Structure 1
Amino acid sequence: MHTAFSLKGSMFEIEMNGHAADREELLDWRPDDRLAVILTSPLSALGASMLLQLVTTAYYDVRPSRRKAPHYAEIYLLHSGGRYGDFSSFDVVPRREVFLPADPDALIEAINDRAITHLAIPDGTPRHLTFPWKEPEVARDRIRHCFAYTAQGRTSNADIAIMSRNPDLHQDVELALEPIALAESIERYIDAGDADVQLYSRELAQRVRSRLIEISADEKITARKYHDAIWDDGVMRQTFRKISVDAALSLL
Structure 2
Amino acid sequence: MHTINIMSYAHFDFEVEGKPSSLEEIFPGFNMNDRIGIVVRQAGGGMGASALLMSALTRFYDFHRPLLGDEPGRLRIYPENFVFHVGQRHMNHSWMDIWPPHKEVVVEDDPEQILEAINDRGITRLLVEDISPLSATFLRETISSAQHRTVSALAYSPSGRVKKEDITIVSCPAAEENVLDSLNRSDELSDEVKEQLRKWRQQLYVNGRITETYRRIDLSEALQMLSPTNEQGETTRSYMKTLGNNPIYTTSIPLLEKINS
Q: TM-score band, normalised by the shorter chain? A: 0.7 to 0.9
CA shift for structure 1 position 158: 0.3
In 1, the alpha carbon distance for the partners of 2:174 and 2:61 equals 18
Amino acid at match of 2:163: S
Amino acid at match of 2:21: A
Amino acid at match of 1:82: Q
User: Any idea what the Cα deviations from partners look like across 1:20-47, whole Å, max 9, x if unmatched?
Assistant: 1122222231121100111100110000
Range 167-176 or range 77-86, more displaced: 167-176
CA shift for structure 1 position 122: 0.5
SS at match of 1:51: helix
The aligned counterpart of 2:213 is 239
2:165 to 133, 155, 158: 158
The aligned counterpart of 1:8 is 8
1:15–1:160 Cα contact (<8 Å) kept: yes
TM-score relative to the length of structure 2: 0.80
User: Any idea what the Cα deviations from partners look like across 1:46-86, whole Å, max 9, x if unmatched?
Assistant: 00011110110121223334523110111100001111011
The aligned counterpart of 2:55 is 54
The aligned counterpart of 1:24 is 24
Gap runs ≥5 in structure 1: 180-210
SS at match of 1:125: coil
CA shift for structure 1 position 225: 1.9
Residue 218 of structure 2 is aligned to residue 217 of structure 1 = no
The aligned counterpart of 2:91 is 85
CA shift for structure 1 position 243: 0.5
Amino acid at match of 1:29: F
SS at match of 2:211: strand
In 2, the alpha carbon distance for the partners of 1:178 and 1:152 equals 18
RMSD: 1.3
Gap runs ≥5 in structure 2: 70-74, 227-261
The aligned counterpart of 2:142 is 135
User: Any idea what the Cα deviations from partners look like across 1:181-233, whole Å, max 9, x if unmatched?
Assistant: xxxxxxxxxxxxxxxxxxxxxxxxxxxxxx61x10122212211221111022
SS at match of 2:137: coil
Change in Cα spacing, 1:122 to 1:66, as seen in structure 2 (3 Å) is farther
In 1, the alpha carbon distance for the partners of 2:63 and 2:174 equals 22
Change in Cα spacing, 1:66 to 1:251, as seen in structure 2 (3 Å) is farther
In 2, the alpha carbon distance for the partners of 1:232 and 1:119 equals 26
CA shift for structure 1 position 177: 2.1
TM-score relative to the length of structure 1: 0.83
1:251 to 225, 229, 244: 225
Report percent identity of matched pairs.
31
SS at match of 2:90: coil
The aligned counterpart of 2:257 is none
Residue 173 of structure 2 is aligned to residue 172 of structure 1 = no
In 2, the alpha carbon distance for the partners of 1:176 and 1:135 equals 32
Range 48-57 or range 66-75, more displaced: 66-75
